[in-house]
Structure 1
Amino acid sequence: MSDTDALAERVRSRLITLGHPPTPAAVATAVRAEYGSPIGDRTLFTLTARLHAELVGAGPLTALLAEPNVTDVLVNGPQEVWVDRGAGLQRVQCDLGDDTAVRRLAQRLAAACGRRLDDASPFCDAKLPDGTRIHAALPPVAASTVHLSLRTFRPQGFTVDDLVAAGTLTPESAAIARAVLAARLAFLVSGGTGSGKTTLLSALLGEVRGDERLVIVEDAAELRPVHPHVVSLEARPANAEGAGEIPVRTLVREALRMRPDRIVLGECRGAEIVELLAALNTGHDGGAGTLHANTPDAVPTRIEALGLLGGLSRDAVHAQLADAVHVVFHVVRRARPVLRVVTEIGVFRVGPDGRVRVLPAWRHDGGEVPGQAALRVLLGVVGGRR
């Protein structure tokens, strides 16, 4: 262990003993007390900055996470670090020391989230105080070395016009999206992991009228719509003792009592879909959410599977879905060049067998759109009623 590492351990122990949070001022005071000899201002400033990053930040990864274009930082061991700057993964030079140093880094990040990471609990999925999402896996869950996955949090939100400029939306699909919002149709944004579902949903919510109250429920707060009246509710995992959990499903029920004009579920991923469908069927129109699905056609099937987790039968899921959700925006991440594109807008329709299906109402490639007339009816009838 180097002298700096030893100093970091003494500073950490001192802060824990005194019960002081690792603020820059507290770290500077601890460094001065633990340094062992008189220390100059320049040395104190340098050590404080470095140790503060070690104690509460991401250590050597801090500079990468601070880059404005970086969305993900992935660590596959002490000498293998990858970043995504929006153009796919690229390997970068970043020396993290050895396996022991990477393990300590992962444990520090987990501790900053209030989570445990050790041999008894070898993986962690949490959020740092600055909003960065972290997933860590220790051996033997990780086969050979510690693996870290960090997804950065960017507080600035995109607008619909920004997404048109970026190519995610076309002027035509943007106009449809605005009409859906104005008509207060309930909608979902579907797509694969990393396709830009949250970014698109956040931009669309920014188009909602300013006098409407948005109540957003998320497993981890990521939606930041540019809107004057947003209430954000975030689920809480159990602590190290297994107590204190507040699941998303509970928060959806609580949201109903908060006088929402629109209820938004950041990601439909479990039994909470039951509460969302119930809300959208009892006067809470205009709601929204995201859903993992490979194609628009797969969306009803995914909702059916989640509804079964919540205790609904297959028939009950489709009966609820038929009146709850009207439109789906499907977004795809294309590899070269890297671009997130809304490829299809579909409408939910009930088939002869009573099962809900998605009919394409608009396609980026100009393909056949048998649901176009249905979308016009929805926009006209619901919009006229409003």
Structure 2
Amino acid sequence: MTTVVTAELLDRVRERLASSAEDPTPALVASAVRIEAGGVIGDTDLLDALRVLQTELTGAGPLETLLVDPRVADVLVTSPHEVWVDRGEGLERSAVRFADDAAVRRLAQRLALSAGRRLDDAQPWVDGQLPGVGDGTFGVRLHAVLAPIARGGTCLSLRVLRPTTQGLDALAARGAITPDALVLLRRMIVARLAFLVVGGTGAGKTTMLAALLGEVAPTERIVCVEDAAELAPAHPHVVRLVARAPNVEGIGEVTVRQLVRQALRMRPDRLVVGEVRGAEVVDLLTALNTGHDGGAGTIHANSPAEVPPRLEALAALGGMDRGALHSQLAAAVQVVLHVHRAHDGARRLREIAVVVPDADGAVTIVPAWSAHGHVDRGRELFDAMVERRTT
């Protein structure tokens, strides 16, 4: 900053712009700078002020350069001087810095407003999706918590949602899928077995799901329901329905569960829920049990064995008890795929398992293929399932 363009001047300009109902165009920002400077400001100082303010007021501010990097999956701000980025090989500290916590707070509040959400001392956290970031080819999911709830200062978490278009062959070429597993996955798709892709955060669930959907016959119609637009399978006939959060007045919400019900009226050959994380599991399982073979979805779980208890908890949100959940699951889903993110950042298929009901009706998950070795019993069950569907 110069002796003319001081922090105090910029603060006054910010306040003036914040009180205006107009978009902060360059002309409006320049006018505000001149007014707050008392009309006496040179071209060089004006350009300096515009450069600082435009960085704050457009896109994602100083984080924009990180978000447009095609390798970036997450950008995390934990304090003004701690901005972390994940480029697919784990978190690393970036060179981006903010002047102070007030600058982080201003950015968080502006992004929240862009997402149609409220963020202030009365509502100190927000979760939403940002429009118009970067070149428009990707989305960004926003989460922010203000101080003093966040003790070290305002925290920002930005997850980059890039459309996933890689096919199974591309995943196999980079080592995410072994050749023998690739054969099983293609047999699963041809047999129209319903499946869930499970794994932890950032394990590559959506990438795997999109690649598998790309293997579906082009004559089939796929209807995808998502909380945030991520799936972009390389398939000629895909309908994408995306949920919507309520606006600042608390109205206008469209839930995943509502969209699953709408999808059933759209003649889907394959019904897909991008991420099952709520009561919509009830509607999905019901749909898969009423003639919609070959459906799919993803779910957060650290192993296939964790899927039944995880679904029990979600089904309870929709009023379905444990017994009913296991009965529906056994009839609706045949295969569970586990993807894992290693310490080096590599994402790989770790296990293929089959869903098998026991004598009491409870579901068990039996491994059919493992990256660590062949599994005989589960493989026999998998082969039998495929055989029944293809003969």
Q: Which residue of structure 2 aligns with residue 251 of structure 1?
A: 259
In the alignment, does 2:303 pair up with 1:300? no
CA distance in 1, matches of 2:111, 2:230: 19
Q: How far is the alpha carbon of 1:169 from its aligned partner?
A: 0.8
Which of 248, 252, 276 aligns to 2:284? It is 276
Identity across the alignment (%):
53
Q: How far is the alpha carbon of 1:5 from its aligned partner?
A: 5.1
Which of 203, 215, 228 aligns to 2:211? It is 203
TM-score w.r.t. the length of structure 2 is 0.89
Q: Which residue of structure 2 aligns with residue 59 of structure 1?
A: 61
In the alignment, does 2:165 pair up with 1:165? no
Matched residue type, 2:237: H
- The structure-2 alpha-carbon separation of the partners of 1:81 and 1:32, relative to structure 1 and needing over 3 Å to count, comes to closer
CA distance in 1, matches of 2:380, 2:52: 61
Q: Which residue of structure 2 aligns with residue 34 of structure 1?
A: 32
Q: Which residue of structure 2 aligns with residue 366 of structure 1?
A: 373
Q: Deviations over 1:120-175 (max 9, x none)?
A: 11111111114111110112321231111111132352111111122111122122
Q: Residues 105-254 of structure 1 correspond to what in structure 2 (within 5 A)?
A: 105-129=107-131, 130=133, 131-155=139-163, 157-254=165-262
Q: How far is the alpha carbon of 1:40 from its aligned partner?
A: 10
Q: How far is the alpha carbon of 1:28 from its aligned partner?
A: 2.8
Q: Which residue of structure 1 aligns with residue 383 of structure 2?
A: 376
Matched residue type, 2:112: A
In the alignment, does 2:345 pair up with 1:343? no
The answer to whether the 8 Å contact 2:210/2:232 transfers is yes
Matched residue type, 1:31: V
Q: Which 5+ residue runs of structure 1 have no aligned equivalent?
A: none
Q: Which residue of structure 1 aligns with residue 319 of structure 2?
A: 311
- The structure-2 alpha-carbon separation of the partners of 1:101 and 1:262, relative to structure 1 and needing over 3 Å to count, comes to same
Q: Which 5+ residue runs of structure 2 have no aligned equivalent?
A: 1-6, 134-138
The answer to whether the 8 Å contact 2:200/2:301 transfers is yes
Q: Deviations over 1:203-255 (max 9, x none)?
A: 11111122222111111221121222221111122222222222211111111
The answer to whether the 8 Å contact 2:33/2:46 transfers is no
The answer to whether the 8 Å contact 1:12/1:55 transfers is no
Matched residue type, 1:120: A
SS at match of 2:355: strand
Q: Deviations over 1:162-198 (max 9, x none)?
A: 1112211112212211111111111000111111111
- The structure-2 alpha-carbon separation of the partners of 1:367 and 1:379, relative to structure 1 and needing over 3 Å to count, comes to closer
SS at match of 1:178: helix
TM-score w.r.t. the length of structure 1 is 0.91
Q: Deviations over 1:354-384 (max 9, x none)?
A: 1111111111111434211111111111122
Q: Which residue of structure 2 aligns with residue 324 of structure 1?
A: 332
CA-based RMSD:
2.3
